[in-house]
Amino acid sequence: MPGFKEINREANIIYHSILSKDYNKKMPYFKTENVNKTKKILQEIGSHAGFSSLLDLGCGTGFIIHIAKDLFDKVVGIDITSEMIKQVDLSFKNVSVEMANAECLPFPDRYFNVVTANSFLHHLDSIEEVAKEAHRVLKTKGVFCSLLDPNYYFWEGMKKTPDTNNPIVQREIDVIKKVVEDHKELGISEDILRHSEIWQLRNGGMDLDRVIQVFKSVGFRQVKGRYQWFLGQAGVSEEDEKVIDTYLQESLPYTKRMYKYFSIKALK
């Protein structure tokens, strides 16, 4: 009988193999505003950790790689799904990819300046082993950065919110209510979905404070989290976005239910 970790791994391979066909077109990461935001984050991290090398965990079709290739001397992506990796643009000399498990990285100690994980941690049954490996392969003063993992407080709040005439709120309620049905239309069974989107569907998202504690426990000396993408952010101007986000960030922890995702930055 396969253990839960093996079931989680195989479910992710099946899930992402099916999604790989239209992944770049359907995923919101590839929108211009998201690319620009991520580029700024990588530039900031590189200015502290160095621009020699970056490793992207769960690289998928190459969202982070596509941005990092113009910033870092060497960019490496790893993933367990061959159908995703096949779509990574390898025409650049400083880019390479490997089929590998993030819980057992095929790289020596203190090898990379930066390790990234975009919308990745919530697919794992346990994040501690990945946190340990990220810490191991990072150089001293290297930085780990995860982006776009689901915020427990937002997802649980939306589940408990009744239908409303507010289109912004109702859109998020519908996404949660219809997530299983929408994936069935793509040929992804509910069982596969729940074993791959494990934190989002089984646990209702991830608790930022607990994730921070995991990264501290494996040896990172400084770990900071930031809530991302407040409710309705996509529909406001860049100027209004800054004002609203500043207000919500300054009003934490009372406003953490307003953010859909969070990011982590951990310094070795």
Q: Looking at residues 83-93, what average pLDDT do you find? A: 95
Query: Distance (Å, rounded) from C-alpha 257 to C-alpha 268?
Result: 29
Query: Distance (Å, rounded) from C-alpha 110 to C-alpha 140?
Result: 7
**Which pLDDT value is given to residue 203?**
65
pLDDT of 198 strictly over 70 = no
What global pTM score does this model have?
A: 0.93
Q: Kindly report the three-state secondary structure assignment for every residue of the chain.
A: CCCHHHHHHHHHHHHHHHHHHHHHHHCHHHCHHHHHHHHHHHHHHHHHHCCCEEEEECCCCCHHHHHHCCCCCEEEEEECCHHHHCCCCCCCCCEEEEECCCCCCCCCCCCEEEEEEECCHHHCCCCHHHHHHHHHHEEEEEEEEEEEEEEHHHHHHHHHCCCCCCHHHHHHHHHHHHHHHHHHHCCCCHHHHHHHCHHHHHCCCECHHHHHHHHHHCCCCEEEEEEEEECCHHHCCHHHHHHHHHHHHHCCCCCHHHEEEEEEEEEC
pLDDT of 9 strictly over 90 = no
Mean pLDDT score across all residues of the chain: 91
Q: Which residue has the tokens 């965990």?
A: 57
**Which pLDDT value is given to residue 187?**
79
Please give the residue that has the higher pLDDT: either 130 or 188. Answer: 130
Q: Looking at residues 258-264, what average pLDDT do you find? A: 96
**Which pLDDT value is given to residue 201?**
64
Query: Distance (Å, rounded) from C-alpha 210 to C-alpha 171?
Result: 28
Confidence of residue 174 (pLDDT cuts 50, 70, 90): confident
pLDDT of 161 strictly over 80 = yes
**Which pLDDT value is given to residue 80?**
96
Query: Distance (Å, rounded) from C-alpha 136 to C-alpha 72?
Result: 20
Q: Most confidently modeled of 27-41, 101-115, 176-190, 226-240?
A: 101-115
Token digits for 172?
A: 């998020």
pLDDT of 25 strictly over 60 = yes
Task: Report how far apart, in Å, the C-alpha atoms of 67 and of each of 42, 79, 89, 128 are.
Answer: 8, 17, 11, 27
Confidence of residue 16 (pLDDT cuts 50, 70, 90): confident
Q: What are the pLDDT digits (tens) for 50-63?
A: 999 999 999 999 99
**Which pLDDT value is given to residue 112?**
98
Query: Distance (Å, rounded) from C-alpha 148 to C-alpha 168?
Result: 19
Please give the residue that has the higher pLDDT: either 208 or 16. Answer: 208
Q: Which CATH superfamily is domain 4-267 in?
A: Vaccinia Virus protein VP39 (3.40.50.150)
Q: Looking at residues 234-262, what average pLDDT do you find? A: 95
